[in-house]
Chain A
Amino acid sequence: MRTATTTASLDGLRPGARVVIRNVDGPAPLVRRLAEMGIRPDALVTALHRTAGGGRVVDVAGARIALARSVLRSISTEPSS
């Protein structure tokens, strides 16, 4: 989903793209858990490879987190400057 020219969901990025998280949508416990793992607004993440089942692995401050596609889609990002 692209709402602005520079915003893309984590799902749509090509591997290796380094982005800043703008917004995380979803049920509050999920948003909070993602935040605890470092996935929250203003955090810098790198999109890594795709996984079986349609998700992908992201690099968050050196940690590797596997996320389902639905979660990826609920995270909007901007390219990091």
Chain B
Amino acid sequence: MSMPPDTLPADAGPTAPAATAREAQQPAATPSRGAPQATAEASRPAAGANCHTDGAAPQAPAGAPVIALAGAPNVGKSTLFNALTGARRTVGNWPGTTVEVGRGAWTIPGGAVSLVDLPGAYSLDPLSPDEELTRDLLLNPDPAQRPDAVVVVASTAHLARSLYLVAQVRETTLPVIVALTMIDVATRRGIDVDTAALERALGCEVVSLDPRRRTGHEELDQVLRDVLDAGPLTPRGASAVGDHLSEAVSDGEQPAAYPMPDPTGGDGDGDGDSLARADERFAWIEHAIAVSVTERADRRQTWSDRIDRWATAPVIGPLLFLAVMWAVFQVTTKVAGPMQDALDGFFSGPVTDAARAGLGAVGLGGGVIEGFVTNGLIAGVGMVLTFVPLMALMFVLLAVLEDSGYMARAAVVTDRLMARLGLPGRAFLPLVVGFGCNVPAIAATRILPQARHRVLTALLVPFTSCSARLTVYVLLATTFFPDRAGTVVFAMYLTSIVLVVLIGLLLKSTLWRAVGADPLVLDLPPYQRPTVRLSLSVMWLRLQGFLRTASGIIVATVCVVWVLQSIPVVAGESFGSVPVADSLYAAISRLVAPLLTPAGFGEWQAVSALVVGFVAKEAVISSWAQTYAVADPSAGRVPGSLGHQLLQTFEVSSGGHAGVAVVAFMVFLLAYTPCVATLAAQKREIGMKWTVLGVGIGLIAAWVLSVLVFQVGRLFW
């Protein structure tokens, strides 16, 4: 049996935000080392292939040596990466994987090298896709695909734990430098390391440095130069182990349809042979420690421990966690909300007016072009930009939670609860955020180290009822159930929670049967003050990535809807000035409507609202207003309030069970695709295939549930 390391630490803690930043999907401009430009479907990652990058950071010239930066989680690896490369990195998925790596140019004597920031891993025995990538790169049997050297970052405070990776890398000929970090923490704990003795014991260069204070880097630069010039190392004693691993790598399976390596994959994990190898390595490490480390005997409780007694304690810990979640939720709704509204008003008001005036001045006013510019382009771009404050706040919050070390504690506290859905504890956060807005919630899934957890959570987030859906619930509930509106809205939120759990259980039992039941084993990094610079730079990087990937989809969809609403299907109308009821849009809605007759709302007005709702739930009400304002004015209907008109529509479509039909409609609204921005975020985080699957799951769940509600409900009501 394989033990998927769901709850094992990844690159959490001090360095996590940078390590988990995953940026845009565009291929970078400069492929290095002549490897082919790989796509997301590329089956084999190679050391020389470029990851998808945001193209912002400078890269080392093609042909420059490739240096891998490896290390266990929480050793300050990404901080060192930032220090070496001036924090200018390109971050993206490694080709063919959902594993993200950072790249940057590192200037050493004699020229720049390309530094690749590998995911945090304790060893080269893959328990996760992230670790598998690290192993693939470092133990690749083809020397051309291997990096030219590897810098293994090791925490002086937890040296033994950091050296397992060194033990494995030293079984190959790969030149290796051990970079000792966290000297200050070690000193405070009375740990002293004799680097010269450690060098002799490990048989490779050891450089001690402090990435947070940026010392020791010149030495590292020079040592790397020397190591590159010196060429391959002689493997330490256990060379047979290296061969064994190398063979395993060449047999390694790559993900097929979806970029999810089989979590149960892996080679010979359990056999006594590999345990014997592990024992040999531990003995080697123990010897190295014994000759180089002196440790003061006394062990004091740190202030980190004192906080943890509360932060992870029964009762108090969960309460504190809920308070933190409440704060995050408040920031993403109450603080970002007004900014969102202001931006929205700015684009639909002054910007649109200015565009109209401008177009009018050049003789293009009142026509198709004005319609396209104001209702298509400006509306679309405005919608993208309204998400900016929300996403920026979300990214800063995530960075602070991770950098401070609290996220690991939250994971401990929520572990048991989330384990039932086959998710690690920290998956709780995106799901909570989803009740505010799904878009930052999807982005928040990157706090999950495991790709399949990111996918599963990103598929569940759309079922959390965001605040945009609330506006529609309130309108419908106050119109149809004026006396019980509050109860109805509350029931929608309960339904949302139930849906998350049910869909979660369903996905868990179908997509990944192996997921779940992993016991908690989690490294708790010491608390530390989040670094403002790191938090802001991570925020900026992620925000750029969001804008780059999401804006296209959102603007395009808004424009498509506008075009469909502008194409007349009735003779005598002209493009751009057709009433919605006579547009291609209404015609398509009428075509789809019969599908929803079993749910009690098979009328084009209801269906077209759902189509608009696909773009954004905020637009549902305004689209209704538009629909009913222009619908069939010649039929002699007394124009009533929007609520009155809706009542009529639902009465007709449901055959007299308007109340039940409205509930069914609300359930549909809850379960299907939240908005195109969520899809854009999903595409960015988990890829197109999973996003499409998610849309399918949402539509099926929405249809089945709403039909169920209507068919059962109308028997009683």
- Interface of A with B (CB < 8 Å)? 26-38, 40, 46, 48-55, 57, 59, 61-68, 70-71
Contact = CB atoms under 8 A, between A and B. Distances in A.
Contacts of B415: 53, 55, 68
Contact of A51 (B72, B125, B312): B312
Nearest to B304: A64
Interface stretch (B368-376, B440-448, B520-528): B520-528
Given A35-B282, A50-B313, A66-B412, A71 B122 contact: no
A70 to B, nearest CB: 5
B345 to A, nearest CB: 44
B299 interface: yes
Interface in B122-172: 122-123, 125, 127, 157-158, 160-161, 164
A37 B523 contact: yes
A68 B282 contact: no
Contacts of B275: 28, 31-32
B413 interface: yes
B315 interface: yes
Contacts of B266: 29
Contacts of B160: 38, 61
Contact of A52 (B127, B304, B312): B312
24 contacts: A26-B3, A27-B2, A28-B269, A28-B275, A29-B266, A30-B519, A30-B521, A32-B123, A33-B8, A33-B122, A33-B127, A35-B278, A36-B72, A36-B164, A38-B161, A53-B415, A54-B416, A55-B520, A57-B312, A62-B189, A63-B158, A63-B523, A67-B522, A68-B519
A65 B408 CA distance: 10
Q: Which 8 A-B pairs have the closest CB atoms?
A: A28-B270, A68-B520, A68-B519, A53-B416, A29-B3, A64-B524, A36-B122, A51-B312
B308 interface: yes
B523 A27 contact: no
B161 A37 contact: yes
In the complex, which of the residues A40, A62, A65, A71 has the most CB atoms of chain B within 10 Å of its own CB atom?
A62
Given A28-B270, A53-B413, A65-B524, A33 B314 contact: no
B191 interface: yes
Given A32-B275, A46-B299, A52 B315 contact: yes
Given A46-B299, A53-B412, A66 B3 contact: no
B164 A30 contact: no
Give the contact-size bracket for chain B. 35 or more
Interface string B499-541: 0000000000000000000011111101000000000000000
A27 B164 CA distance: 20
Contacts of B416: 52-54
Interface in B183-203: 189, 191
B312 A36 contact: no
B520 A62 contact: no
B520 A53 contact: yes
B317 A52 contact: yes
Given A29-B270, A48-B308, A52-B412, 5 more contacts: A30-B521, A33-B521, A55-B412, A66-B523, A67-B522
A71 B3 contact: no
A27 B305 contact: no
B318 interface: yes
B519 A71 contact: yes
Contact of B312 (A28, A32, A66, A68): A66
Contacts of B282: 35, 40
Contacts of B635: none
A51 B412 contact: yes
A29 B2 contact: yes
A8 to B, nearest CB: 19
